[in-house]
Amino acid sequence: MSKRHPLNEVEPPVAMRRGKRPAADPTDRPRRPGRRERAQQRDADRPPRYRTARMTPDHWHPDGDAVVPGELPVDVWGGIPGEPAEVELLHTGRHRIVGRFHAPVGEPHPLRRAPVCEHFDACGGCPLMHLVPAGQERARLALLRDALAEVGLQALTPSSVQPSPEGDEGYRHVVKLVVGRSDHGHLRIGTFARRTHRVVAIPGCNVATPVLRRVMSVVAHTIIELDIWPFDPQTGRGTLRHVVMRQSRSHGEVLVTLVAGGRNRALGILAERLSGAVGEVAGVHLHLNDDPGNAIFARDEEGQVPTVKLVGKDVIEERLGEVTLAIGPGDFYQANPAMAERIAQDLRELLAPDRDRPLLDLYCGVGAFTLALGREHGWALGVEVVGGAVSRARENARRNRIAAEFLAGDTVELLPEVGQRLEGRHPVVMLDPARRGAGEGVLAGVLAMQPARIAYLSCNPRAMARDLVELQAAGWRVRELRAYDMFPQTAHVETLALLDPPEAVGEGLAAPRRRVVR
C-alpha cells in the first residue's frame, strides 16, 4: 500500500464537505493580459501582408510618421526614431516610400505602447497613439525643434509641452463624420482612412467626448436604418455627405449639422431621432452643399454657412474665462476648449503689463481671444476674412457688453485703415493665422504701427518660424515661446511666441472711443 501524500491527510474545508467549491485565492490565479497587452501580442503574431525590410527611422515627419532617410525616404507609420524594426513596404512613390511598422527587432522601444484604439492603423487620425505620453511630448518637441532649426532658431525650443488639461482621451469636442460606402457597397459612416478616401467606421472613438461617442453611434445606426444614401457630387445622386457635431464644454449641449447634397424627408426624421435619443442634442441643422470637392461647408458671398434649423436651438454657448460665446453651425472654435482656456490664461498673464493699451487681433475668427483679452485691455479690434465669423464675433461682443469692433476683409488690405485708426497708440498685436502663417505684407503692416508687444499663436511651427525670422530681422526679440498639446495622440503642436520691440515704446495716445458694440 503506497504511502499517501501528507496533504491528503488534511481535512477538507467545511465548504468542500458540503459539496461547495472553495473561494479561489486571487493570488493563485494567473494574471490575465490586459487589452493593450493582448493587442500588442496580436500585432507581434500578425504575419506581414507586404514585403518587409529591417530599418531604423531617425526623425519624425510633421504628419507623425517616423522617417528612414535615403534617396527615397521611407515614412514608417507606427515607427519610432531610433527603434530598429521590421517594416512593411506598402507603396513606392516617385519621391517617398510608404511603410508600416510590423514588429521591433529586439526589445521594443521603452516609449512604445499598444494603441488603445483598434482602428489605429486604418483611421490614421492619431499617429502618435503608439507612444506613451512622455514619448508623445518628446516627439512634439523634436518636431518643433526641427522646424525652428531650419531657420537657425532652435535655441528657442521650449523644454516641455503643456499637456492637455483634460487628458489624452475624451478631449475632442468636435467630430466630423463622412457618409460613404464600404468596399462591398454598404452604407458606412466614419472617417476617411489614412491616405485614402475609403470610409472607416470609428465607433467608440477614444479622443471624442463620451457624449459625442453616443451621438456618433445613434447617427450611424439611424442613417443605416433610414437608408439615407451618401451624396455623389459627380452624379447628383444620394443625399447625405457629412455629419458635424460640436459639444459645449461649459454646458454639455450638442449642436449637430447635417451636410447634404439635397433635401430628403428622411433628414427630418433623422433630426427628430437624434434629439429624442440623446438628451444633450440641443439642435440639429441642415446645410446644403452640392459643390464638387472635399470642402464640408459651402459659404455664401458674405462668408456665411447658410443652414436650416430642423430641431431645437440656433446656437450653443461656450465659455472662455469670463466671456460667453455663441457657437453656431459652421462657426470655427477650438476642438479642445480646455486647452483654449489655458492659452487664454497664458495670454492674459503675458500681456498683463500692457493691459492699458488697445488690442489688435488679426485672424480673430468668432472673436474668442479678442473678447477674452479685450475685457482686460478696455478696447479691442478684430480682423477676419470670413464674414460669417465676423457677424458672430459682433454678436458675441454685444452679448458680453465688451468694447470691441470687428472688420471683415483680407488682413493685408485692411491694415492701412487699421494703422490710421491706431496711429500713435502703440497697440498690443495678436496674430493667430492659418497654417500658411501671416500673409505677404502682413508683418510689415503690423510693424508700421509700432506696437508695444506682439503675441503670435500658431498651429504650424514651420510657418511661425519663417515669420519669426522676419520679425527678428526688424529688431524684435522673442522673449518666450510656449508649446501646447492641443490634440493629444497627434503630431500637432500649438505654439505661442511673445515678442518685444527693438526699443521700448511710450505710453501712446488713448485708445479709440471705447464703444460697446450694440
- Which amino acid is present at 421? R
Would you mind telling me the total number of residues written for the chain in this entry?
518
Measured between its terminal Cα atoms, the distance across the chain in Å is 105
Task: Tell me the torsion sign for CA atoms 333, 496, 341, 517.
Answer: negative
Please name which of 307, 316, 306, 313 lies closest in space to residue 286, comparing C-alpha atoms.
Answer: 307
Please name which of 63, 52, 110 lies closest in space to residue 86, comparing C-alpha atoms.
Answer: 52
- Which amino acid is present at 46? R
Residue listed under C-alpha cell 444614401: 229
And the C-alpha cell for 192? 476617411
Q: E-strand spans in 253-403?
A: 254-260, 281-288, 308-312, 316-320, 323-327, 359-362, 380-384
Neighbouring-strand partners of residue 52: 88
And the C-alpha cell for 222? 439611424
**Could you tell me if 381 and 359 are in contact, meaning their C-beta atoms sit under 8 angstroms apart?**
yes
And the C-alpha cell for 122? 486604418
Burial class of residue 168 (count of CB atoms within 10 Å of its CB; 0-12, 13-18, 19+): buried
Number of H helices, E strands in the chain: 12, 22
Q: Which residues are CB-neighbours of 280 under 8 A, at least 6 positions away?
A: 211, 215, 247, 252, 253, 254
Residue listed under C-alpha cell 463620451: 210
**Could you tell me if 466 and 437 are in contact, meaning their C-beta atoms sit under 8 angstroms apart?**
yes
Residue listed under C-alpha cell 437608408: 227
Residue 342: Cβ within 10 Å count: 19
152 conformational bin, left if phi > 0, alpha if psi -120 to 50, beta if neither? left
Integer Cα distance of 378 and 87 in angstroms:
58
Distances (CA, A) of 399 to 322, 365, 369, 394, 433: 12, 16, 15, 9, 25
Catalytic status, residue 459: yes
Distances (CA, A) of 479 to 3, 156, 432, 467: 86, 9, 18, 15
Phi, psi of 124 (to 5 degrees): 80, 5
The DSSP symbol for 314 reads S
82 conformational bin, left if phi > 0, alpha if psi -120 to 50, beta if neither? left
Phi, psi of 245 (to 5 degrees): -135, 140
Strand, coil or helix: 55: strand
Which one of the listed residues 126, 205, 364, 459 is annotated catalytic?
459
Positions marked active-site: 459
